[in-house]
Amino acid sequence: DTESALPMAAAAALLLLCAWLLPCGAPASPKGVTARLAAKWPATSLLLEASEFIAEEGNEKFWQFLETVRELTIYKKRDSEHSYYNLILKKAGQFLSNLQINLLKFALSIRAYSPTVQMFQQIAADEPPPEGCSAFVVIHEKRTCKTNEIKKLLKKAAERPRPYLFKKEHKFPALNENVPVVILYAEIGTKDFVKFHTVLSEKVQKEEIVYILRHYVQKPSSKKMYLSGYGVELAIKSTEYKAVDDIQIKATNDTTEEVDGEAVDLIYN
C-alpha cells in the first residue's frame, strides 16, 4: 500500500545519497604517528653483543666462546641474517642454560649491549687505528697491525707508560700481571682476530704479557642502529585554529556571569 511504500522510498533515497557523497557510516581514516629511536652510532654486530652478554656470565666463558666462534663471520656473508642469528645462539648455547638463552634473545632484540660494543669502537677510534688495518695491537703507546712486529715492540715496552684499563676490559686469564700490557683491537670471528689471538695467547701462557681484547670493526655497518626499550615522548601541537568572533565571546561571558557566574574556557583545536 501507499503508506508502507513511502518509508521504503525514503530509505532508498538516503542510500543513494550516501553512495553519491561518502560511504555511509564509514570510519574516519586513523591518524597515527610512528616513531623510531635511532642511535648516533651505526648498527653493531650481534656476535659482538652476544659475547658481551656471555662476558657477564664469567670471563672464562667469554674466552671459551671466542674460541668457538673463531671464524664465524664467514657465515655472515654466505647465510641469511636469520640463519646467522640462529648460528650465534647455537654457539652461545654451549655455555648458557635454556633460561640464559632466552635472556640472550631478549637482550639481542632490544640491542641492550650495543652501547658497550660501541664504547670499545670509540676507544679504538681515539687511538687511532693504523691505516688499512682490520686488527691491530697497542703495546704501551706503540701500534702495529703485523704480528711479526710484536716481539720488537715488547723489548722496551717497560720503559713506556702502561695503558689505562677500564672496568669492563676483557683480560685473558694470566698468572703474571707484572709484564707489558698488549691491547688487541679486532673483530671476533674473523681471520685477523684468530691470527693475533693465537700469538698473544701463547705469550700469556709463557707469562710474557697481559692480553686485553677490545672490540674493533674496521668497516662499521651502513645501517642505522634502532633502539627499543626506551621511553620516547612526542609533543605535537596543532596549529589549526577556529575563527571566533570576539564580540560574541564577550557577550556570552557577560551573560554567563549574570546568570550563574560560571567560568568559560575556550579550547582551540
Is the pLDDT reported for residue 259 higher than 70? Answer: no
* 225: phi then psi, degrees, rounded to nearest 5: -95, 100
Cβ proximity of 214 and 164 under 8 Å: no
Mean pLDDT score of the chain: 82
Single-letter amino acid code for the residue at 125:
A
Is the pLDDT reported for residue 31 higher than 90? Answer: no
**Region at 234 (left for phi over 0; alpha for psi -120 to 50; beta for the rest):** beta
Q: How far apart are CA 155 and CA 215, in angstroms?
A: 26
Q: Tell which residue, 227, 230, 229, has the closest CA to residue 114.
A: 227
Q: Tell which residue, 54, 93, 96, 89, has the closest CA to residue 75.
A: 89
Single-letter amino acid code for the residue at 217:
V
What is the dihedral angle through the alpha carbons of 59, 63, 65, 69, rounded to the nearest 10 degrees?
150
Cβ proximity of 59 and 171 under 8 Å: yes
Confidence of residue 228 (pLDDT cuts 50, 70, 90): confident
Query: For 93-130, how does the pLDDT look when each residue is reduced to its tens digit (9 = 90+)?
Result: 999 999 999 999 999 999 999 999 999 999 999 988 99
What's the pLDDT score for residue 220? 92
Q: How far apart are CA 84 and CA 232, in angstroms?
A: 31
Single-letter amino acid code for the residue at 109:
S
Q: How far apart are CA 216 and CA 208, in angstroms?
A: 24
Q: How far apart are CA 55 and CA 105, in angstroms?
A: 15
Is the pLDDT reported for residue 30 higher than 80? Answer: no
Cell numbers standing for residue 106: 631478549
Query: For 172-212, how does the pLDDT look when each residue is reduced to its tens digit (9 = 90+)?
Result: 999 899 999 999 999 999 999 999 999 999 999 999 999 99
Confidence of residue 267 (pLDDT cuts 50, 70, 90): very low
User: What's the pTM?
Assistant: 0.73
Q: Tell which residue, 125, 100, 267, 136, has the closest CA to residue 212.
A: 136
Helix (H, G, I), strand (E, B) or coil at 186: strand
Confidence of residue 226 (pLDDT cuts 50, 70, 90): confident
List alpha helices for 167-264, DSSP H. Answer: 191-205, 246-259
Query: For 130-166, how does the pLDDT look when each residue is reduced to its tens digit (9 = 90+)?
Result: 988 999 999 999 999 999 999 999 999 999 999 999 9
Confidence of residue 50 (pLDDT cuts 50, 70, 90): very high
Is the pLDDT reported for residue 236 higher than 50? Answer: yes
Q: Tell which residue, 134, 147, 141, has the closest CA to residue 159.
A: 141
- Summarize the confidence of residues 231-239 as an average pLDDT: 67
Is the pLDDT reported for residue 263 higher than 70? Answer: no
Is the pLDDT reported for residue 24 higher than 80? Answer: no
Q: Could you tell me which residues come within 8 angstroms of residue 131 by beta carbon, excluding any fewer than 6 positions away? A: none
What's the pLDDT score for residue 73? 80
